[in-house]
Amino acid sequence: MLSLITILAWAGALAARVTALNPIVVHEQEFSDSVTNDRFVIIGIDYQPGGQGAYGTGSGDPLSNGTTCLRDAALMQQLGVNTIRCYNVDPSLDHNECVSIFDSVGIYMLIDVNAPVPGLSIDRSNPSSSYTTSYLQHIFTVVEAFKSYPNTLGFFAGNEIINDVATGQANPPYIRAVQRDLKNYIAAHAPRTIPVGYSAADVRSVLQDTWAYLQCNDGNGSNDTSRSDFFGLNSYSWCGNQSSFTISGYNVLVETFSNTTIPVFLSEYGCNDPTPRAFDEVIALYGSQMTTLSGGLVYQYTQDTADYGLVQTYSNGTAQILGDYDTLMSQYKKIDVSLLASSNSTATSLQPPQCNANLISNDGFSTDFNIPSPPSGVDQLIKSGVPNAPTGSIVSVTRTSVQAAVYATNGGRVSGLAIQAVSTANSPGQTQSGLSTGAASSATASSSAGTSGTSGSGSGSASSTGAAASAKASSGAYKVGAGFAGAAVAIGAGALAL
């Protein structure tokens, strides 16, 4: 007979397991869930709330203020996001609460190991002098900070280091060197393999060479730790509602990467000329023509002077949802999530080509596969580990209700915003509105099925808020059918309730 203590211990273990996401692994062209083996396609947002050059305490680090992370995770969960990219983490800070919040809502993290501080990235104008022991110690410390979180999807070893043929000459071997060092460090000190890759500028003249250089295998029969495990592309080529699969050149991307042996995705997208954005590229990116790619990340969550934001945030914690958030949500809700989960056995059995100069087409782009040796002391550092490095771990999430004031696009204050714990990757429509208390209380519960259906497929304009809220209040069935639109609209409805 089981004692009560045993049962309670089981319950505790179960609770802990339920809140941790399954790590993601790479299977040649695809990411997949390491437990279910479902394909994992990134539905992501770039997250740098402190701004591009920010670093360190205050608002400089995106994952160290639990109050703002809770607010943003709640809004991202509603949106349907499953991944964030963070460019400027400070490994000396405590990320446990924020990372645990994102983990609990089904959101993975892509972490850039570099920092916008001199000496903490490879200088494209002088890679050899910036490839130093102190630089490597810094990026290994970032690995230490994030290696134990189950929702760390991968590390970016570099971002847009190559941006033309000239910078494609000296830099490629250094990018591979940094990847090798990170992967060797992870192999020696992390509890699991964590993918390491690169984020490329969308300079079409060097794009194919960059990918070909980084994905090839130089191992001569064994695994080569200097190759990329994935390839991100920062691409803003789809602009406005007059663009298309061919006008944007997305068709060329599909052709270029058709035989890729590592996952390729858009590490930034979302051209903002013209504004407001229509986000029609979402339909193409997650559609049947682009299954070669593993999704992408919209640039970006937080509004700043460059005008790419989905949400305007203030230092007092208040957030104003912007129109692009609503538009993106309505596009995300059209994604066929079941299509994304299915793996392609041909794509996952492709083998990387052996590195060779004939893979490179531009005169002037590096064909040098002699990867620089680590600077002195680094082999020992990899063997013994960074001394006294702070290592993160998942903690239980105790706060779930967002206290900060959040305003909908119609100006009303959102009520009842909260995160909801899940055990699998978030996806559009997966989570019902966390605002339902406010929304339901405003509903008349008399709405017909016809009205609900209309609002479910509508754009979420203010005039449909009542109907959507009613749908949620009056019919369990409609919660599934109207799902995502219901969440979008309920933000407005919640606002109207006050």
Ligand X SMILES: *[C@@H]1O[C@H](CO)[C@@H](O)[C@H](O)[C@H]1NC(C)=O
Total residues at interface with ligand X (CB under 6 A):
25
Residue 347 DSSP class: G
Smallest gap from Cβ 496 to ligand X, in A, equals: 19
Site for ligand X contains 346 (CB under 6 A)? yes
Q: Quick one: which segment of 36-44, 129-137, 227-235, 252-260 binds ligand X (CB under 6 A)?
A: 252-260
Quick one: which H or E segment has residue 67? helix 66-79
Q: In this chain, which of 48, 65, 199, 330 binds ligand X, going by CB under 6 A?
A: 65
What one-letter code names the amino acid at 487?
A
Residue with tokens 């060197």: 177
Q: What are the distances in angstroms from CA 139 to CA 100, 136, 173, 436?
A: 22, 5, 18, 43
Site for ligand X contains 358 (CB under 6 A)? no
Partner residues linked to 321 by β-bridges? 311
Site for ligand X contains 274 (CB under 6 A)? yes
Site for ligand X contains 315 (CB under 6 A)? yes
In contact, 332 and 45? CB cutoff 8 Å: no
Q: Which residue is nearest to ligand X (CB)?
A: 317
Give the integer Cα–Cα distance in Å for 303 and 152. Answer: 25
Build a one-symbol-per-residue string for 372-391: x at contacts with ligand X by CB under 6 A, - elsewhere: --------------------
- List the structure tokens of 174: 């250094």
By beta-carbon proximity to ligand X, the closer residue of 16 and 336 is 336
- List the structure tokens of 376: 């002195």
Torsion-angle region of residue 410: left (phi > 0), alpha (psi -120 to 50) or beta?
Answer: alpha
What one-letter code names the amino acid at 441?
S
Q: In this chain, which of 6, 36, 37, 241 binds ligand X, going by CB under 6 A?
A: 241
Smallest gap from Cβ 476 to ligand X, in A, equals: 34
Smallest gap from Cβ 303 to ligand X, in A, equals: 12
Q: In this chain, which of 130, 132, 251, 318 binds ligand X, going by CB under 6 A?
A: 318
Q: Which residues are catalytic?
A: 160, 268
Smallest gap from Cβ 312 to ligand X, in A, equals: 9
By beta-carbon proximity to ligand X, the closer residue of 221 and 387 is 221
Torsion-angle region of residue 222: left (phi > 0), alpha (psi -120 to 50) or beta?
Answer: beta
CA geometry: angle at 148 spanning 144 and 154, to 5°?
Answer: 80
- List the structure tokens of 296: 């992408």
Smallest gap from Cβ 223 to ligand X, in A, equals: 4
Site for ligand X contains 239 (CB under 6 A)? no
Give the integer Cα–Cα distance in Å for 433 and 453. Answer: 17
Residue with tokens 């080569």: 224
Smallest gap from Cβ 492 to ligand X, in A, equals: 19
Q: Quick one: which segment of 147-155, 255-263, 433-441, 458-466 binds ligand X (CB under 6 A)?
A: 255-263
Give the integer Cα–Cα distance in Å for 49 and 184. Answer: 31
Q: Which chain residues interact with ligand X by CB under 6 A?
A: 65, 67-68, 220-223, 240-241, 255, 258-259, 274, 278, 291-292, 314-318, 344, 346-347, 405
